[in-house]
Structure 1
């Protein structure tokens, strides 16, 4: 049998089944709880003055003690429930929305202002719906392509740096010691080490192992991974391997291979055998497979 606290908790979350609701109605303070719930509908977090309400509670408790000690226990019970309700309401309105992708998974999310975000494999996006009108801001771990609707400033926060947007389409990739932003449309500002770099369509900003890398003009209109293909231009082989692992959910071991040698090429996300040939043949590398582990061997 569910205890009183569990019944009240599930009731606050609107999660009672029919049998539990019948048990809830038999609680001795059922009427007080329902009245409290109805009155709470008129409250908003921003109108609640904690110091003022606490002062009122303390004065009422003092007054109740003088009149009758029997009022103290039920009053304190209701006051405690009131505090819990306000805490729950505050928690749910400040909670971030988080969307995560797993290995070999992609997804597209629509933000509250109709901006859209496409998440690449093994990535995480977080934002707050309730604060969106005042501040359009997201946090990204991994890689995502953004189509930002016109409006107030839009920020993408990553562990490596912040991307400031002025209404545009762009791609952000932040993986360990790799940070890249590519502008496809509009204007993007990349804030890295407290300095802002403006990117126009076709411009890129790339940091690998703490060093800024110059890149050729981007001639695509969208990143290749949206079409299930990863493309690389003179990038360290270790970055190719890391992306391959995310797209195919495998572990790759390198034997007699320089992980920092530069690689130019691409691989598809829908055929493991063809993809393996695409990343090994150009470097004259052989491979073998054991379950989810792939070993690449150099000459």
Structure 2
């Protein structure tokens, strides 16, 4: 571990036994401890003009060698501390970002131990250091949240804000598509300055800026967690966009109305099986060439 990291962890009181021993072995250890103690205990002294004059005259009479003896170590320690304070400020203000690429999913925990599953081509951002005072996450894409008991935070998207009251829910924010499904507990969805409360099984769906009514959700969790995408009376273009995300391919429609409603699902584990699932119900044919797929009406 490099010197700067050791000093930063020391300032944060975050050294383990092995790291503490390594820190004590630094050549600047005594100077660092002394300077840190002086900084913490620093306060303005009472001003005495006579004593200050004597002190200045005494300093002027000091030899050049003596000046060099204490100035160089002090400047070296001051430079190290300046670097450490800069690193500390940087690490406490930088955001934590989780991203997924095409055909990729990931799971992680928020600072309050709430778990998040991130679907393909998605991004979630939060600030760990300011979490206690600013409990917000920014989401682009789709994520399933399983909130720790007693926790609450806001999920910020381009279309609306989801307020968590302790629950399990799914948020999907894509181009001209915004959907929130509550699976457990209670969530509030704020859209155009109006909040809608969702109970288990309730959904909130906006497509092309319009609110769409949906039937109750009976599943215990979103299907994509089990590597399957499910659609209920959604425009076919939404099916194609999700297929492209899950398989990292480009799909071209020939003679097909992309606004045609589709109900069905496709697996994330086999592209051939998935293609049959999204073409047979609509009597479509397909052809593949590398990462490009063409769908046609029979």
Smaller-chain TM-score range? Answer: 0.7 to 0.9
Equivalent in the alignment of 2:195: 196
Partner SS, residue 167 of structure 1: strand
Q: In the alignment, does 2:10 pair up with 1:11?
A: no
Aligned residues: 260
Q: In the alignment, does 2:290 pair up with 1:294?
A: no
How far apart are residue 191 of structure 1 and its match? 1.1
Deviations for 1:41-67, whole angstroms, at most 9, x for unmatched residues? 7799xx9x9xx9xxxxxxxxxx89x84
How far apart are residue 137 of structure 1 and its match? 2.2
1:181–1:12: structure 2 CA closer, same or farther, 3 Å change rule? same
Contact 2:32 2:77 in 1 (8 A): no
Q: In the alignment, does 2:100 pair up with 1:101?
A: yes
Contact 1:100 1:122 in 2 (8 A): yes
Runs of at least 5 residues in structure 1 that lack an aligned partner in the other structure: 1-9, 15-29, 53-62
Equivalent in the alignment of 1:113: 112
Deviations for 1:243-283, whole angstroms, at most 9, x for unmatched residues? 11111111111111111111111001101101001001111
Q: Which has the larger radius of gyration?
A: 2
Partner SS, residue 168 of structure 1: strand
Distance in 2 between residues matched to 1:41 and 1:189, nearest whole Å:
47
Distance in 2 between residues matched to 1:281 and 1:236, nearest whole Å:
16
Alignment of 1:175-186 (within 5 A): 175-186=174-185
Contact 1:36 1:82 in 2 (8 A): no
Equivalent in the alignment of 1:233: 232
Partner SS, residue 166 of structure 2: coil
Contact 1:150 1:166 in 2 (8 A): no
Distance in 1 between residues matched to 2:146 and 2:230, nearest whole Å:
21
Greater CA drift, 221-230 or 252-261: 252-261
Partner SS, residue 242 of structure 1: helix
Runs of at least 5 residues in structure 2 that lack an aligned partner in the other structure: 7-25, 45-55
Normalised by the size of structure 1, how large is the TM-score?
0.77
Equivalent in the alignment of 2:14: none
Equivalent in the alignment of 2:89: 90
Greater CA drift, 144-153 or 277-286: 144-153
Contact 2:146 2:168 in 1 (8 A): yes
Partner SS, residue 187 of structure 1: strand
Alignment of 1:53-68 (within 5 A): 67=60
Deviations for 1:215-258, whole angstroms, at most 9, x for unmatched residues? 11111111111111100011111110111111111111111111
Distance in 2 between residues matched to 1:262 and 1:169, nearest whole Å:
28
